[in-house]
Amino acid sequence: MKRAVLVILLQVMILAPRQAQAHRIDLFCRVNGNVLTGEGYFSSGDPVKNGKISVTDAINGEPVAETVTGDDGTFSAILDSEAPVVVVLSAGQGHRAIWRQPSGDRQETGASFPHESNKLRSLKTAAGLLFIAALFGLLYYWKRRHAT
């Protein structure tokens, strides 16, 4: 009975990431003419609400614009200069994402807004758990050899 409870607990721990939310943040931006638009979201797909957006000149580091993300994680800003920009999204607790505009293309730059699929996240989680098991397996092997 005790073993069965332990096995169930272990399964719950392993399956938990399927319903979990990751907390890495991603930032995607587009520049069209002098309008910067973008979106910040956690890798779970949840938008970063009220995140601070700082836009600086990529060449001299001067501030260009500041704004915050809305409830849907999107934002927009007007760019006065022609220089490429660096966009920093601060979501608090040290979470930060940076987007750098490729130089020389002011018409339209930036990526589409791909959200990491749950399947990919689950695969990464499973890979992480396997790596942890493998690393501790190596440690066990090393300890055994060292002991003899």
Partner 1 sequence: MHISEGVLPLTTLSAGYALSAAGTAIGLKHIREDRIVRTAMMSSTFFVASFIHVPIGPANVHLVLNGLVGLLTGRSCFVAIGIALVMQALLLQFGGITTLGVNTLNMALPALFCFLIFSPGISRGKIPLFPAGLLCGALSSLLSALLLSLSLTTAGEAFLPAAKLVLLANLPLMVVDGLITGFVLLFIGKVKPEMLKP
Q: Where does this chain bind partner 1 (CB under 8 A)?
A: 2, 5-6, 9, 13-14, 16-17, 20-24, 43-44, 46, 50, 90, 92-98, 121, 124-125, 127-129, 131-133, 135-136, 139-140, 143-144, 147
Q: Taking the complex as a whole, how short is the minimal distance between the CB of residue 72 and partner 1, in angstroms?
A: 16
Using an 8 Å Cβ cutoff, are 14 and 133 in contact?
no
Q: Taking the complex as a whole, how short is the minimal distance between the CB of residue 35 and partner 1, in angstroms?
A: 26
Which residue number, 23 or 105, has a Cβ lying nearer to partner 1? 23
Which residue number, 93 or 112, has a Cβ lying nearer to partner 1? 93
The CA–CA distances, whole Å, from 59 to 68, 91, 106 equal 23, 25, 15
Q: Taking the complex as a whole, how short is the minimal distance between the CB of residue 146 and partner 1, in angstroms?
A: 10
Q: Taking the complex as a whole, how short is the minimal distance between the CB of residue 107 and partner 1, in angstroms?
A: 28
User: Which amino acid does the sequence have at 22?
Assistant: A
Q: Taking the complex as a whole, how short is the minimal distance between the CB of residue 38 and partner 1, in angstroms?
A: 17
| CA 72 to mean position of chain CA atoms | 16
CA distance 100 to 86: 5
Looking at the DSSP bridge assignments, the partners of residue 86 are 56, 100
Rg (CA), the chain: 22
CA distance 23 to 17: 12
Which residue number, 59 or 127, has a Cβ lying nearer to partner 1? 127
Which residue number, 111 or 129, has a Cβ lying nearer to partner 1? 129
